[in-house]
Amino acid sequence: MASIVVILSSVLLILSAFSPGSSLNFTFYDKTCPQAESIITNAVKNATSKDNTVPAGLLRMHFHDCFVRGCDASVLLNSEGTNKAEKDGPPNINSLHTFDVIDSAKKDLEASCPGVVSCADIVALAARDAVSLAGGPSWNVPKGRKDGRTSKDSETITMSGLPAPTFNISELQQSFSRRGLSMDDLVALSGAHTIGVSHCSSFRNRIQNFSATQDTDPSLHPTLAASLKGVCRIDSMGKDGVTAMVPSSTTFNNTYYKLVLQGEGLFSSDQALLNNPRTKHLVRKFADSPEAFRKAFVISMIKMSSITGGEEIRRNCSVVN
């Protein structure tokens, strides 16, 4: 695993990425629960030692949490009664896991300092640890998020919800802009796709009935398209297959950008990054410079994770108090 690197040397640079009026700070638990970060790190390390897909799952969970109602751990809430929660929404129900990792960390935190550390902060810190354990950078995470009390599956699929893998560059820009995130953030955060796996349903539009005249998306490399068609067959239970995102799908690096330039981005939204001069320039920059990618990724992660919301500190991450 690559050595852990703290990218940013200037606290002022990090603070400039915060949302206006944010109450987050780096020392939030120093007096109330000084062992909080080590407890969370240990939970992530223990889980990763048993399952190397955990880092990708935790990183994805953080993104999916922050893009709906802000980083408030609403993605962790269970469906209840007639309300279907975010975790059961179409983009999440088959793609999110690692809830048990967050629950494990929360259990240990409640035993050590009950009612102090929010589930939203656990998700943010676990995502940082996940990236580091996968060979990516580490950074100081601002803390002090509160947990939300509302979670609706419908909010994951509206234009104000999660960006879809079928989005074009204009739709992606609008989705990120609604959250105060820039085109630079869009390209940097897309680099999270360098780890993990994807369900075929997320990119089937590119390899089957792409248009009235073409079965396959012409922007998809033909060798990859043929390979994906072989993998993505509906099984006897009527379910899609699953394929690795990239060859090094458990290692955090800049491979993603190199693949996009070769026409081997998996999603339409990946390849769409080449359809705008600014985003195309950044794809080339990050493909050429791992260090430039790591620095940009850290800045954008801090910026995204500072989109706050929520009202309470949940004692159990899957239910409101």
Of the candidates 149, 96, 114, 134, the one whose C-alpha atom is nearest the C-alpha of residue 39 is 114
For residue 26, give both structure tokens: 């780096």
Helices (H), the chain: 11-15, 36-50, 54-66, 99-112, 119-133, 169-177, 183-190, 222-231, 255-261, 268-271, 277-288, 290-305
Evaluate the CA torsion angle 119, 254, 245, 251 in order and state its sign.
Answer: negative
Considering the candidates 62, 64, 97, 199, report the single residue annotated as catalytic: 64
Helices (H), 1-118: 11-15, 36-50, 54-66, 99-112
Cα→Cα distances 212→30, 165, 216, 311, Å: 60, 21, 10, 50
Question: How many angstroms separate the CA atoms of 237 and 155, rounded?
Answer: 29
Are 315 and 110 spatial neighbours (Cβ–Cβ below 8 Å)?
Answer: yes
Q: Which residues pair with 242 in a beta bridge?
A: 199
Report CA dihedral (225, 227, 231, 232) to the nearest 10 degrees. 10
Q: Has 64 been annotated as catalytic?
A: yes
Are 278 and 173 spatial neighbours (Cβ–Cβ below 8 Å)?
Answer: no
Task: Measure the N-to-C terminal CA separation of the chain; round to a whole number of Å.
Answer: 39
Question: How many angstroms separate the CA atoms of 226 and 224, rounded?
Answer: 5
Are 87 and 75 spatial neighbours (Cβ–Cβ below 8 Å)?
Answer: yes
Q: What are phi and psi of 242, to 5 degrees?
A: -125, 140
- Which residues belong to the active site? 64
